[in-house]
Amino acid sequence: MATAQKTEGSGRAWVMLLLASAFEIGYALSVGGSQAFTVWIWSMAALVFFLLTLYFLSVALKTIDVGIGYAVWAGIGAVGATLFGTVLLNQPLTLIKAFWLAVIIGGVVWLKLADSAKLQVPSE
């Protein structure tokens, strides 16, 4: 029963972490658009995204280990900001950047797998 509750709570925590990561991407793009917080609308968007990402990250970290949660959050944020920056802001994406982004994605996937209940060593 406790395992089922932990799995359900863990699933909710991962959804919260994904939301936090999406808001982190919005925050990064908004900060870039704010031009050092001189453009009012982008600056306000950055503030809203910042508060949302912190809230959802804090909810996720109630269940997910801080090291894993933070690494996944930062990795998704970095990859997302780079990809959306390429599409929306015409920032260049070179082959070497794409390779290292793939490494980050691989790391995020392995961290998620490391948090899987199937891979946890039972404690007695």
> Tens-of-pLDDT digits for all 124 residues of the chain?
344 444 556 889 999 999 999 999 999 999 999 999 999 999 999 999 999 999 999 999 999 999 889 999 999 999 999 999 999 888 999 999 999 999 999 988 888 787 776 556 666 5
CB distance 9 to 117 below 8 Å? no
C-beta neighbour count of 30 within 10 angstroms: 20
Is residue 124 a part of any domain in this protein? no
Domain with 21, as residue range(s), is 2-118
Distance of alpha carbon 7 from the chain centroid: 20
State the Cα–Cα distance between residues 76 and 98, nearest whole angstrom.
14
Q: Hey, is 64 helix, strand or coil?
A: coil
CB distance 62 to 14 below 8 Å? no
Is residue 10 a part of any domain in this protein? yes
Is residue 55 a part of any domain in this protein? yes
* Domain count for the chain: 1
Q: Please tell me the predicted confidence (pLDDT) of residue 89.
A: 85
